[in-house]
Structure 1
Amino acid sequence: MVESQKYAIVDIETTGHSQANGDRMIQIAIVIMEDWCIKKTYTSFIHPGKSIPLFIQDLTNITDIDVQDASPFEAHADYIYELLQDAVFVAHNTDFDLSFLQGEFRRVGLPNWNGKKIDTVELAKILFPSSLSYKLGDLAAELNIPLNNAHRADDDAKACALLLKECWEELLSLPQVTLEQMHKKSFRLKSNISQLFFEALQIKRRKMAKEDDYVYYNKLALKKPAQSAIDVQEGMVYPRTSAEKVGLFQRAMDRFEERQGQFEMMDVIWENLNDKSEVLIEASTGIGKTIGYLLPSVLYAKQNNRKVCISTYTTNLLEQLLNNEIPKIEKIIGRPINVTLLKGKKNYVDVALFEQLMKSQDLSYDETLTILQVLVWLSKTQTGDLSELNCSGGGQLFIDKIRKNSESSGKKHAFDYYDRAIQESAEADLIITNHSMLLADLVRHEPIFDEIDGWIIDEAHQFVQAAEQREQAIFTFTNWKYLFGRIGLSTDQELFSTFQKIAVKKQRIPLKAFHQLEKVYIGMVELFDKSMQDIVFQMKTVAKTTKSNPKRIAFFQELELNRGLLVDFSKAMQHWIDLADSMSTLFKKDIEQIAPEHNLVLEQWDFFVREYKMKLSEWDEIFIELDDDYTTWIEIDQRNLPGSIRVLKKPISISATMEQLFNPIREKAAVIWTSGTLTVPNNERFIAKQLGIKENVPLKMLQAPKQYYKGAKAFIVNDMPDIQSVSQSEYIESVALAITQIVRSTEGRCFVLFTAQDMLRKTVELIQESGLLDDYMIFAQGVTNGSRMRLLKAFQKFSHSVLFGTNSFWEGVDVPGDGLSSVVVVRLPFSAPEEPTFKAKSAVLQQQGKNAFSELSLPEAILRFKQGFGRLIRSSEDKGIFVVLDRRIETKSYGTEFLRALPQISVTKLPLQDMVLEVEHWYNNKHEERKQVDKNDK
């Protein structure tokens, strides 16, 4: 392939994905590119011979009117076929576009098109390994490729052509050794990308340009570390008065909106940092919480030449801090900030381990693709943080093998990213981390923490969950069986037989040692299987399953498990680990150099021995070490035994752990806990108590001005049936009716929040059967495929859409502006009484003579309720309605506490039909206001 190769970049729009079911093309576009310039563009509507489904019209903006005068595919087929001759076929997902096109060619009597293909999804994954998404629209936005009408073939094909050119330019920017390694590995890819790599490599070799931006480990090119910004500390004065604060912000921000709550928060944090004291701050949406804590933290760090550590909950929030908020602060103070993102060892790549594993010959497609991604990423990353990579599921297994661990080679090198992060922390103003890593580092006590004067714990209410997760242990049968399978026996084609062949052939380890190890292994697996059989027997005795509900849960104390069997397995596994470890030591003992391919097997052996050590520790923690401060339960599914066995061990309270971790910090540094939801009416210190924070630590509550929520209205539907007095099916019918009417009155953009997956699923099924929302895209957690973030992105893409979610959608989901019109709360978010952790916590409270409902159930539900409302209004310009379908908010005495937890907004109680009329009126007014704003902007 030479540079003047002809590329045909194709995009098609269709009525659906299945030709077999009669789906047809509605638009095609082909862009011809030569010498990396667009030479020709062909685009045409195509009559599908049927009406276009509404959701396809919504997605593509192609209607039946657009195609009514178009010819069928038969009229275009010969010309399209001719255009593709002598070209490399390029598409964003060739599996769809090319196979659909081939099917159409066959249908009209043309032969299959033959030629090379390039899939820009595959190519972009390799060359932009840190992209958040590989959808064409997302890549176009990230790479500044114009794409005005996504899902229109003409715009998509042009964007795809420009993406191909961007990929080519990206290839040419890579170091020569990286291209050489990529070319060697590229023959296992699904599309013909290897030729493209070869051509780039030829150009690179001819130019022989200097490549000084890299450090090299063997044949791996790694980006040179960036130099820290030289900073002047003088002149860093904290703005004490409101006028000084306004002046500082106005210089840096064009449309600065003064917020007294934000100024108050800054002063509280400044005071506590200087006094090295502790405080809790609840800062509602609209306060400007992030800037409120960042500015005083940075000024304090720079003035005192000390450090402030900021911890938040999710990776998403970490990225927002680094990419959006820190640059704002740099603009405000007019100088750079030295920031380090610090994570635990296992988050960083072990370059030596990667270099070894890369040499493996029997790589799967996913492993090959991931290796290519890592090669490109190493030439760009400054951090070595593996979370920067966006890998497929199969690729993640490979990523887990190249993580740095405590047993990684002790030599320090320029490419040891973890050591580099520790060194950078020593020079940083701010250290940013997340809750789970902070907890792990506090336990290990990283020495860098001695230099920290202030700790800001953002999203503090989530620290409870992070601490519980860190202390929990989970056992799954399938995970353990997979681990046993990876070692295998001498008769298998797994690691044991490979290691044995090499060790015996090289006369490093006697064969009888392997016989002994295999014997111990067989005994260990037998003991494991017996332990599992005992669990199944006990569960069947205690926890009866039914056809309608084959899943069962039982607490450890309800079972009479054979403890002797559990202990015997633990001893057998320890015996196997000791022997496997000694054999690895024996293999390495010889003076003779170990061949690279043998070293690779040894690295894999050591990797799995480490895994077994971790698993044994997990086994002992769950099955052997009984602790009253924890609750342990077993879950099974009768349809899949023993495959479905899961055992979970969770702490009942984390307050003692929190005190133990934070008391040493409190003696020498400020600790500031902040969140949008820290309090509930009548129990303001609910979260504080869970975090083990003493009563004398002050709690500040900062609420955005009433004006901030001017666009919000709350409705309580007061003629819904009482769930206790009707059957579940009747109740679900009423819920489905209410939801369809609310959705239609706001024309979509609606979140519907449930507390139980079963009710969500049945409601969605009933709505789909009724056909009342057939014009809308319905996304439902646990029903529609995809992760939470994937569902959210899909929901935002369509104007007529509804998202049904359970627990995880009550918080941490941002849909700004017109993206969300309404939030419907189906049931007040109380925890299910049978949920094991909740049940165990309730039992402890009852033993202490406390009311589990008022002390635990109610405050937890109110916090979720507050967070549910928080999805709706994300800026002072937002408008939205909050609808509660649960009558208990009106009929129960505790209902007023839920309402008091909302900001000061209008709350109206109405029958469903009256509410729908009010909502329609509100929605029409909102549309008129939006039109007026658009008109004024023009």
Structure 2
Amino acid sequence: MISFRENADAPAAAEYASALVAACDRVFAPDGWLATQLGLEHRPQQEAMAQAVIRNFVSDRSLLFEAGTGVGKSLAYLVPGILRAVVSKRPFLVSTHTIALQQQLLSSDIPLVRTLFQQIPELADFRNFKATLLVGRGNYLCGHRLSRAIATKSDLFGGTQEEDLLRIADWSTLTKAGLRDELSPAPDPEVWDWVNADSSACNKKNCSPETCFYRRAQQARRESQLVVLNHSLLFSLIAAGLAPGDGAGVLYPEDYVVLDEAHTVPNIATDHYGLGVSSYSVDRALKLLYNPTRKKGKGLLAKVGNMQDHRAVTEALAASEGFFNDLRSRLLRRQDIVRLHEADWAEPVLHRPLGRVADRLGVLRTNVEDGNLKDELGDHRRRLQEMLTGLQHALDLKHGDKHVYWLELAGRKKSIVQVRSAPLDVAEALRTTLFRRGTSVLMTSATLATGGDMSPFARRSGADGEDFSLETSPFDFENNLQIFIAEDAPQPRKGEGQLDRKFMAETIAHSVKTITGGTLVLFTSYADLRAVGEQLGPVFAKAGRPLLMQGQGLSRAEIKSQFMEAGNGVLFGTESFWTGFDAPGEALSQVIITRLPFDVPTHPVLEARSEWIRQQGGSPFAELTLPDAVTRFRQGVGRLLRKHSDRGRLIVLDSRILHKEYGRYFLAALPKRQYTKFCRADRSQTLVAE
């Protein structure tokens, strides 16, 4: 029997650490419990990772670990993490980027760990560990707020919104988790704003686990050894100041954290450590208070406010429309993104009207008794004040030496005007919030290194000086993967897009024709995707090959479902499809990369960070642009073989990989050294199925 204990004295702590290390060794060894009890194939890379993870966990040291596809990294951190959590009674957090990985953890990997613990007498003390999924509180239904919304529905809602409210009420009696995503069709956003748990009215006084789904989730979180969440929620909570104070821990006291899909962390943290105020968010916040476009006016102030309050909101709505329309016509007329270089780039015409509404809410709040209405008024006032502060900081470029500020058109129809900012050096923020918290943080992904070098990622993520390790994929790429590179593909040049797209279309069409399974084509721009899709749509339809294209109204999950079901489909994707898209088997037999995935150098964040690196004597291309592109390239290549039995073909249509000096970094990122070059003239002879 392995003895697990944790006490304050050094000998006992050493014994505790030694016992946990020994347990992990027995789980992952060639003749260990995973192999003998669950019949899983021994993976030396997985064993090495588990040993490194448990040693860093018990010593509260952080670790960067690149684990190639097929290593089995989830089990390599789940087993050590859960063992330690149960013994130490410290929270174990696993944060991911994609919903797909969260679902894999909750439906497959975590139950597998439980099965293992149940079958091993020496691990009997661990078999009843608890795990829970945590999402943002705005995703949960609050029973108390639902009751209040129903009681005042005639003041809040109009038209079909009352019907939607009653539909939510009926659903609330059936759902177990109370999550918005479970409700189909999705609820009206304005109605959901009045019934979700993201409000001061959802508090311990009004709500309990018996009446509120968020409180129930919080209770489950407190009782769980393992909490699964996503990077966006993690960093939004940290940015909101909810991390422990002076004590150890990233999000909860004494916790320790795994950040899977960690290659995405710097960009996600960048989004959450900046500001964002949009025409949509201001309009929505005001119309929740009073919507003059509804018959008789609807909203919180429809009943508790007076004509003066209604007029203040109406004037603020008009000022908001005028302010953001001015930005659109004056600064965003010719381009969707504009960097702000100098302060006072707009007149503060929105400040006084918004401030007047906030003041009115403050007056109303002082005149009502403690309770729901007081809480709701306080929430709305605080929201408006945060918007005012954000806009003022943006107008002043308050942190201009450390942040970049810009305007951007957003939304599917580019109808939303956003005011944004982001830190130039997100590494310092990550260093403070992750690696100087007195606890262990594991960052892992299949793609952290550039050419085997982890230092570029370590610098960007604030992990300089932390331990790091790398294990390659156990897959048989030599025999199961073919790689073809277009030697004479037209290199991207301004004004030659049509030539590029003609070559893309011809080669994609031929490549699809010569393979029986499905094909994923990865683009770096929507313009290329749409143009090539228009050319090849009729061709694929005639050949009986379903063409699915990102941006045509289907969700990512719906696209994947149809693609997998077809078995011989063609999927055109960009941005999010380079990473996290998992389609094992013959349904995905070929990946075509149309261009090396360099970021657009004119985006304000990249432009400002490049200037900042240059001012410090560095090379923006070598330190920022190239590492990011190589990481995304590796992610795209990694979409192809997802299990040991998979076979496939990779085609790269960007000849810069062969002819530019930096191409060697992309070639080194390929999972095998052997590849075949082809030209347009010999394309039909070269690209044949193996």
Question: What TM-score, normalized by structure 1, do the two folds share?
Answer: 0.64
Distance 1:481 1:408, change over 3 A: closer
Q: Does structure 2 retain, via aligned residues, the 8 Å contact 1:740–1:773?
A: no
Partner of 2:163: 368
CA distance in 1, matches of 2:422, 2:638: 29
CA distance in 2, matches of 1:772, 1:396: 37
Partner of 1:888: 656
Secondary structure of 1:554's counterpart equals strand
Distance 1:848 1:246, change over 3 A: same
Secondary structure of 1:813's counterpart equals coil
Q: How does 1:175-324 map to 2 (within 5 A)?
A: 238-240=23-25, 244=29, 246-254=31-39, 256-324=40-108
Q: Does structure 1 retain, via aligned residues, the 8 Å contact 2:593–2:653?
A: yes
Q: Which has the higher contact order (CA 8 A, sep 6+)?
A: 2
Deviations 1:313-352 (CA, angstroms, capped at 9, x unpaired)? 2333222211111110011111232113334443432210
CA distance in 2, matches of 1:407, 1:687: 39
CA distance in 2, matches of 1:716, 1:278: 39
Distance 1:325 1:536, change over 3 A: closer
Secondary structure of 2:476's counterpart equals helix
Residue type at the aligned position of 1:690: R
Deviations 1:491-521 (CA, angstroms, capped at 9, x unpaired)? 9635469856x55xxxxx8xxxx34434544
Q: Does structure 2 retain, via aligned residues, the 8 Å contact 1:538–1:559?
A: no
Query: What displacement does 1:869 show?
Result: 0.7
CA distance in 1, matches of 2:548, 2:99: 24
Q: Does structure 1 retain, via aligned residues, the 8 Å contact 2:451–2:665?
A: yes
Deviates most, 481-490 or 339-348: 481-490
Query: What displacement does 1:843 show?
Result: 1.9
Partner of 2:122: none
CA distance in 1, matches of 2:84, 2:521: 44
Residue type at the aligned position of 1:554: V
CA distance in 2, matches of 1:811, 1:757: 16
CA distance in 2, matches of 1:758, 1:489: 38
Larger Rg: 1
Residue type at the aligned position of 1:732: R
Distance 1:709 1:432, change over 3 A: farther
Q: Does structure 2 retain, via aligned residues, the 8 Å contact 1:456–1:673?
A: yes
Q: Does structure 1 retain, via aligned residues, the 8 Å contact 2:545–2:569?
A: yes
Among 531, 537, 555, the alignment partner of 2:323 is 531
CA distance in 1, matches of 2:518, 2:585: 11
Secondary structure of 1:681's counterpart equals coil
CA distance in 1, matches of 2:561, 2:660: 37
Query: What displacement does 1:836 show?
Result: 2.5
Q: How does 1:854-869 map to 2 (within 5 A)?
A: 854-869=622-637
Q: Does structure 1 retain, via aligned residues, the 8 Å contact 2:547–2:570?
A: yes
Partner of 1:466: 268
Query: What displacement does 1:618 show?
Result: 4.0
Residue type at the aligned position of 2:163: T
CA distance in 1, matches of 2:682, 2:57: 53
Distance 1:897 1:636, change over 3 A: closer
Q: Does structure 1 retain, via aligned residues, the 8 Å contact 2:25–2:47?
A: no
Residue type at the aligned position of 1:743: V
Query: What displacement does 1:285 show?
Result: 0.4
Distance 1:536 1:684, change over 3 A: same
Among 398, 408, 426, the alignment partner of 1:635 is 408
Distance 1:622 1:709, change over 3 A: farther
Partner of 1:431: 227
CA distance in 2, matches of 1:855, 1:603: 48
Deviations 1:284-324 (CA, angstroms, capped at 9, x unpaired)? 10100101111111222233343322222233322221111
Residue type at the aligned position of 2:46: Q
Distance 1:498 1:355, change over 3 A: closer
Deviations 1:455-492 (CA, angstroms, capped at 9, x unpaired)? 22211112212212212433333443454455458896
Residue type at the aligned position of 2:491: D
Secondary structure of 2:188's counterpart equals helix
Query: What displacement does 1:644 show?
Result: 5.0
Secondary structure of 1:800's counterpart equals coil
Deviations 1:768-805 (CA, angstroms, capped at 9, x unpaired)? 366785532111223x3222222222222213321111
Deviations 1:585-607 (CA, angstroms, capped at 9, x unpaired)? 43547xxxx9xxxx8x9998777
CA distance in 2, matches of 1:347, 1:490: 27
Deviates most, 790-799 or 340-349: 340-349
Partner of 1:401: 194
Distance 1:645 1:736, change over 3 A: same
Find out whether 1:692 has 2:473 as its counterpart: no
Among 655, 662, 679, the alignment partner of 2:449 is 679
Query: What displacement does 1:559 show?
Result: 7.8
CA distance in 1, matches of 2:343, 2:538: 43
Secondary structure of 1:716's counterpart equals strand
Deviations 1:193-237 (CA, angstroms, capped at 9, x unpaired)? xxxxxxxxxxxxxxxxxxxxxxxxxxxxxxxxxxxxxxxxxx986
Partner of 2:3: none
Distance 1:651 1:387, change over 3 A: farther
Partner of 1:332: 116
Query: What displacement does 1:681 show?
Result: 1.1
CA distance in 2, matches of 1:467, 1:676: 19
CA distance in 2, matches of 1:252, 1:330: 12
CA distance in 1, matches of 2:381, 2:143: 20
Q: How does 1:407-418 map to 2 (within 5 A)?
A: 407-410=200-203, 411=205, 412-413=207-208, 414-418=210-214
CA distance in 2, matches of 1:800, 1:692: 43
Query: What displacement does 1:680 show?
Result: 0.8
Find out whether 1:732 has 2:501 as its counterpart: yes
Query: What displacement does 1:830 show?
Result: 0.7
Q: Does structure 1 retain, via aligned residues, the 8 Å contact 2:521–2:570?
A: yes
Distance 1:346 1:306, change over 3 A: same
Find out whether 1:445 has 2:230 as its counterpart: no
CA distance in 2, matches of 1:242, 1:529: 62
Provide structure 1 residue ranges, at least 5 long, that are not aligned to the other structure: 1-234, 504-508, 546-550, 923-938
CA distance in 2, matches of 1:621, 1:725: 37
Q: Does structure 2 retain, via aligned residues, the 8 Å contact 1:767–1:773?
A: no
Distance 1:367 1:764, change over 3 A: farther
CA distance in 2, matches of 1:602, 1:494: 24
Q: How does 1:777-792 map to 2 (within 5 A)?
A: 777-782=546-551, 784-792=552-560
CA distance in 2, matches of 1:725, 1:491: 47
Query: What displacement does 1:819 show?
Result: 1.4
Deviations 1:734-783 (CA, angstroms, capped at 9, x unpaired)? 1111010000001351111111111111111222366785532111223x
Q: Does structure 2 retain, via aligned residues, the 8 Å contact 1:748–1:802?
A: no
Among 637, 643, 646, the alignment partner of 1:878 is 646
Distance 1:260 1:356, change over 3 A: same
CA distance in 1, matches of 2:494, 2:221: 61
Secondary structure of 2:31's counterpart equals helix
Among 909, 915, 919, the alignment partner of 2:677 is 909
Residue type at the aligned position of 1:493: K
Distance 1:865 1:583, change over 3 A: same
Q: Does structure 1 retain, via aligned residues, the 8 Å contact 2:290–2:301?
A: no
Residue identity (%): 24
Secondary structure of 2:63's counterpart equals strand
Partner of 1:581: 362
Provide structure 2 residue ranges, at least 5 long, that are not aligned to the other structure: 1-18, 119-126
CA distance in 1, matches of 2:451, 2:287: 54
What is the Cα-based RMSD across aligned positions, in Å? 3.3
Partner of 2:339: 555
Residue type at the aligned position of 1:473: L
CA distance in 2, matches of 1:378, 1:615: 36
